[in-house]
Chains A and B, each alone.
Chain A
Amino acid sequence: MAYSNKVIDHYENPRNVGSFAKDDPTVATGMVGAPACGDVMKLQIKVNEQGIIEDAKFKTYGCGSAIASSSLVTEWVKGKSLDEAQQIKNTDIAHELALPPVKIHCSILAEDAIKAAIADYKQKRGG
């Protein structure tokens, strides 16, 4: 199965790979996995006082589509408010990366990862 150019670009030059310090109070972490393929995805966001996502990082063990989906999401969320980031849909990711139907679950994983990170941030902030 051929990957789209956008997937290959993100796979070969992934944006924002890495980790933030977990004990930083402005950092929140979303961890998700897909049992069917064994992929594991970690997505972290750094949120400022105004509730804007200043920076994002990811680490993904999985196929090219999973890496590209998480890489794309870290690009998209930067500069967004938490509410705006919450609106990101897997269909937008799949469309942008031209994912084939068998790889749609990779975009679902990335959507769930950002939602999990936002939930972690809200929980850290006590609500």
Chain B
Amino acid sequence: MNYFQLFDLPATFELDLTELGSRYLALQRKFHPDNYAAASNRDRLMSVQQTANINDAYHSLKQPLLRAEHLLALRGLKISHEQRSFTEPVFLMAQMELREQLEDISASADPNAAIMAVEQQLQQQRKVLLRQLADALAANTAEQNQLAAELVRKLKFFFKLQHELELIEQQLQD
């Protein structure tokens, strides 16, 4: 299913999220099962099915990585369930170092400052990768789509790091 089509939006990575939000709400209202209480079984089922599709589509388009994955899938590059290992040594070494930095936070003299420092680094690098991803997806050539897939893989490591950082932050607050 083409999630962009469902919302009648252009299939592009850079998306007006406010517009997406309002179209989501409008479709939700239109197909809400309550509106089909008196309808035939077939129509009621259809409304339940459509509501589920609309929810899936909205959640996929809202998040940049899922949106990129959906866009790449529409272009014939399915990467969302791949299990292939990522093997770029320089990138992985840098990830290892960031993980070590996270590990050192709780033992550092000023954990809050350490969190801020890592947070800034992560944000900065995520921003660069997301910019490159937007450019590659806009170019939409076979080569640039491959590059976009590689950038999505890299960004997943960064989102995981962000998640880990938030866990550490929570633990410190407790």
Evaluate contact between A38 and B96: CB separation under 8 angstroms: no
Rounded to whole angstroms, the CA-CA distance of A33 and B155 in the bound complex is: 12
Name the prevailing secondary structure of the B interface residues.
helix
Quick one: which of A1-43 are within 8 Å of B by CB? 29, 31-38, 40, 42
Evaluate contact between B86 and A33: CB separation under 8 angstroms: yes
Is B95 in contact with chain A by the CB < 8 A criterion? yes
Minimum CB–CB distance from B91 to chain A (whole Å) comes to 8
- Binary interface encoding of chain B residues 85-122 relative to chain A, with 1 for a CB under 8 A from any of its CBs, else 0: 11101001101100100000000000000000000000
Is B82 in contact with chain A by the CB < 8 A criterion? yes
Chain A, interface size category, equals: 20 to 34
Rounded to whole angstroms, the CA-CA distance of A113 and B89 in the bound complex is: 11
- Binary interface encoding of chain A residues 111-127 relative to chain B, with 1 for a CB under 8 A from any of its CBs, else 0: 01100100000000000
Among A35, A42, A61, which residue has its beta carbon within 8 angstroms of that of B86? A35
- In the complex, what residue of chain A is closest to B153 when comparing beta carbons? A35
Binding site for A on B (CB under 8 A): 81-83, 85-87, 89, 92-93, 95-96, 99, 152-154, 156-157, 159-161, 163-164
